[in-house]
Amino acid sequence: MAKKTKSKSTKSVKSVNSIETNEKMSKIISFAKRRGFVFPSSEIYGGFSSIYDYGPYGVELLNNIKKFWWKHMIQLRDNIIGLDSAIFMHPKIWEASGHVAGFSDPLAECKKCHFRFRVDTLLEELGFSADEKMSLGQIEKLFRKNIDKIKCSKCGSNEFTEIKKFNLLVQSNLGNFSSDFEKEPVYLRGETCQGIYVNYKNVLDSTRVKIPFGIAQIGKAFRNEITARQFIFRTREFEQMEMQYFVNPKSEMEEYEKLKEYRWQYYLDLGIKAKNLKWYKHKNLVFYAKEAYDIEYNFPFGFKELEGIHARGDYDLKQHSKFSGKDLSYTDATTSEKYIPHVIESSAGVGRTFLALMTEAYTEEKIDNDIRVVLKLLPELAPIKIAVFPLLKNKPELVKKASEIFNELRKLYMCEFDDNGNIGKRYRRQDEIGTPYCVTVDFDTLEKNEVTVRDRDTMKQEKIKIENLIDYFKLRI
């Protein structure tokens, strides 16, 4: 629950508005829509603020990001296992976690145009830190003291309402026929990790894991974010990839350092350049936190949080033990040592990773008098791995052969068949969506049983025998 453990701002009113006017960002936003990666939600109804849909290529990239994460966090690890907990949970969980009381941002409203904004991020832009340790009264005082420097970014007025705490939990009406509903509304989860904490004992009892071990899951989370209009960087419905690692209190910091290292390397493996990544150390930690760092990525609008890595002490399990009345302690089978495990967490956003990868991979190359747009994604992440083209669509023998090859390759890889337009245009269409390889079937194919394979990045072409094609791709994808 990073809202409580950090005070670092992400946006101010001004920078919020500037995100979509940033040149690279606008290019990515329009490219993402034009090529079927990201669509604004409910567009034919005028849109739905801060919610986005992933299109045909977007969903492939999204799934590949999640697969990559799952592979690195579970498949390749001895002691981390997966979980898929439900979005709806017992309302008490959000009380125990502190979300009902404390998961909020300070909000003010322009008296003239009713534009609402986060006061902490606005103050941060002016150079003041308004962290969660400050009372609302203190934030209000700081805000009023600097009022002459503050303007509504929408209408220019500087008359604002009193600052209120705005809780980010999204309430539902699930079960509102029951008499308990008024007392305890049901929330859509604000983070996925609470589902992990409350299943810690189930996992322990049903598997052979021993401390240290981790539970990881990917899933949707919902937050009533005040500041909208930041494309997929900050949305009200989003997906998280979270891993909670349960450790002996004595080794908490040692395990924390290892996790930090592992997660940094993960982003390099994902194809992100080290110069575009940076650590941010949280300055004002909440009482239970031992240490908190974020990995930030150099988005077109500057370095911002991509993932949080936090050493959380025993707060989470202690709280759930207290509120549920269940013993969540762990007894070491060899030493008989009994303790409440401490938790270190890695919490990353799928959408933010998507945006980081789009930023990293979107390239415009000048070739002669033309601009080639190419999405330089790792083959493992590319929505389409191989495109197959018959050289001419009016030659049935070429189309037939290309279809045969396409049908074989699609059994192993996400492939696309394209017989429309000249080859150069077809290459460009695939470059734009990041397809690493294109296979062209021409008259040589019929005679010599070989195809032309063209590489997205080098644009080099080579002849490959059809019978060697699968091995060729196995080595590269």
Cα–Cα distance, 124 to 106 (Å, whole number)? 13
User: Token pair of 346, please?
Assistant: 């890695």
* Phi, psi angle pair for 338, to nearest 5°: -120, 130
Contacts with 409 (C-beta within 8 Å, 6 or more apart), sequence order: 386, 388, 415, 439, 469, 470, 473
349 lies in the site for ligand ATP, by CB under 6 A = yes
Which residues in the 446-475 window bind ligand ATP by CB under 6 A? none
Binds ligand ATP by CB under 6 A, chosen from 352, 401, 454, 456: 352
Phi, psi of 390 (to 5 degrees): -80, 135
Between 234 and 454, name the residue whose CB sits nearer to ligand ATP.
Answer: 234
Q: Does 296 bind ligand ATP (CB under 6 A)?
A: no
Instruction: Name the residue nearer to ligand ATP (CB basis): 7 or 440.
Output: 7
- Residue 2 or residue 218: which is nearer to ligand ATP going by CB? 2
CA distances from 51 to 31, 110, 141, 225, 446 (A): 18, 24, 34, 11, 50
Token couple for 89: 């949970």
Which residue in 214, 351, 379, 436 binds ligand ATP (CB under 6 A)? 351
Q: Which residues pair with 52 in a beta bridge?
A: 40
Determine the Cα–Cα distance for residues 268 and 31; give it in Å rounded to an integer.
25
Contact between 12 and ligand ATP (CB under 6 A)?
no
What DSSP state is assigned to residue 72? I
Dist. CA 200–CA 317, nearest whole Å: 9
CB-wise, 306 or 391, nearer to ligand ATP?
Answer: 306
- For residue 233, count CB atoms less than 10 angstroms from its CB and return exposed for 0-12, middle for 13-18, buried for 19 or more: buried
Phi-psi region of 434 (alpha: psi -120 to 50; beta: other; left: phi over 0): left
d(CA 466, CA 405): 8
Residue 419 C-beta: closest distance to ligand ATP, Å: 39
Instruction: Pick the piece of the chain touching ligand ATP (CB under 6 A) from 52-60, 301-309, 417-425, 448-456.
Output: 301-309
User: By CB under 6 A, what part of segment 55-114 binds ligand ATP?
Assistant: none
Residues 6+ apart with CB under 8 A from 121: 9, 10, 11, 12, 13, 16, 227
Nearer to ligand ATP, 188 or 405 (CB): 188
Of residues 97 and 435, the one with the C-beta less far from ligand ATP: 97
Sites for ligand ATP among residues 183-242 (CB under 6 A): 191, 223, 225, 234-235, 238, 240
Cα–Cα dist 217/221, whole Å: 12
Instruction: Kindly state the smallest distance separating residue 232's Cβ from ligand ATP, in Å.
Output: 7
Please pick, from the candidates 131, 255, 305, 431, the single residue that binds ligand ATP as defined by CB under 6 A: 305
Toward ligand ATP, which CB reaches closer, 91 or 351? Answer: 351
Residue among 6 and 201 whose Cβ is closer to ligand ATP: 6
Contact call for residue 342 and ligand ATP (CB under 6 A): no
Q: Which of 58, 91, 219, 308 binds ligand ATP (CB under 6 A)?
A: 308
CA distance linking residue 330 with residue 375, whole number of Å: 48
**Piece of 40-48, 324-332, 347-355, 454-462 that binds ligand ATP (CB under 6 A):** 347-355
What is the chain's Cα-based Rg? 26
165 and 185 Cβ atoms separated by less than 8 Å: no
Q: Assess 341 for contact with ligand ATP (CB under 6 A).
A: no
Closer residue to ligand ATP in complex, CB, 104/430: 104
Candidate list 289, 348, 386, 409; residue touching ligand ATP; CB under 6 A: 348
The Cα–Cα gap between 430 and 416 comes to 9
In this chain, which of 2, 38, 204, 309 binds ligand ATP, going by CB under 6 A?
2
Contact map string, positions 238 to 267, toward ligand ATP, x by CB under 6 A: x-x---------------------------
Residue indicated by tokens 């397809």: 435
- CB nearer to ligand ATP: pick between 305 and 416: 305
Among 4, 6, 99, 118, binds ligand ATP (CB under 6 A): 6
Should residue 320 be labelled a site residue for ligand ATP when binding is judged by CB under 6 A?
Answer: no
Residue 220 CB coordination number (10 Å): 13
Q: Examine residue 10 and tell whether it contacts ligand ATP (CB under 6 A).
A: yes
Q: List beta partners, residue 82.
A: 216
Q: Measured from the CB of residue 83, what is the shortest distance to ligand ATP in angstroms? A: 17
Residue at shortest CB range from ligand ATP: 349
**Please, are residues 464 and 451 in contact by the beta-carbon 8 Å criterion?**
yes
List of residues contacting ligand ATP (CB under 6 A): 2-3, 6, 10, 191, 223, 225, 234-235, 238, 240, 305-308, 347-349, 351-352
